[in-house]
Amino acid sequence: GIQVEQSPPDLILQEGANSTLRCNFSDSVNNLQWFHQNPWGQLINLFYIPSGTKQNGRLSATTVATERYSLLYISSSQTTDSGVYFCAVETQGGSEKLVFGKGTKLTVNP
């Protein structure tokens, strides 16, 4: 099956710093989503981004489907950005099943 790899696994930043999280996937996909898992476990949608670039405030994401990777940029990080960021891909073939990476655990220190 498709493999989804996220890097780095852990990231520690000082408040105000910028960061880039990467997601590589091993096969063509219909869709890619980025999520932030809050301390209570809920997955919060950040981006639905099968291709191209999107921005939402301090966050932006780029997916280059032909090269099978996506990047999540966080600028001017805040302590509330702490948590685990997941990349998930929807494989081709009619299934809505999402295959998740193992996540990047981000810690933003004040």
Partner 1 sequence: KAGVTQTPRYLIKTRGQQVTLSCSPISGHRSVSWYQQTPGQGLQFLFEYFSETQRNKGNFPGRFSGRQFSNSRSEMNVSTLELGDSALYLCASSYRALEGYEQYFGPGTRLTVT
DSSP the chain: ---EEEE-SEEEEETT--EEEEEEESS-EEEEEEEEE-TTSPEEEEEE-SSEEEEETTEEEEEEGGGTEEEEEE-S--GGG-EEEEEEEEESSS---EEE---EEEEEE-
**Least separation, in Å, of the C-beta of 110 and partner 1?**
27
What is the closest distance, in whole angstroms, from the C-beta atom of residue 100 to partner 1 in the complex? 4
Min dist. Cβ of residue 92 to partner 1 (A): 9
Burial category of 109 from C-beta neighbours within 10 Å (exposed 0-12, middle 13-18, buried 19 and up): exposed
Site for partner 1 (CB under 8 A): which residue of 23, 61, 103, 104?
Answer: 103
Are the CB atoms for 100 and 85 separated by under 8 Å? no
- Which part of the chain contacts partner 1 (CB under 8 A), choosing from 14-22, 27-35, 54-62, 69-77? 27-35
Q: How many residues in the shown chain lie near partner 1 by CB under 8 A?
A: 25
Site string for partner 1, 42-71 (x = CB under 8 A): xxxx--x-xx--------------------
Instruction: Kindly state whether residue 73 participates in binding partner 1, applying the rule CB under 8 A.
Output: no
Residues that bind partner 1 (CB under 8 A): 29-31, 33, 35, 40-45, 48, 50-51, 86, 88, 90, 95-100, 102-103
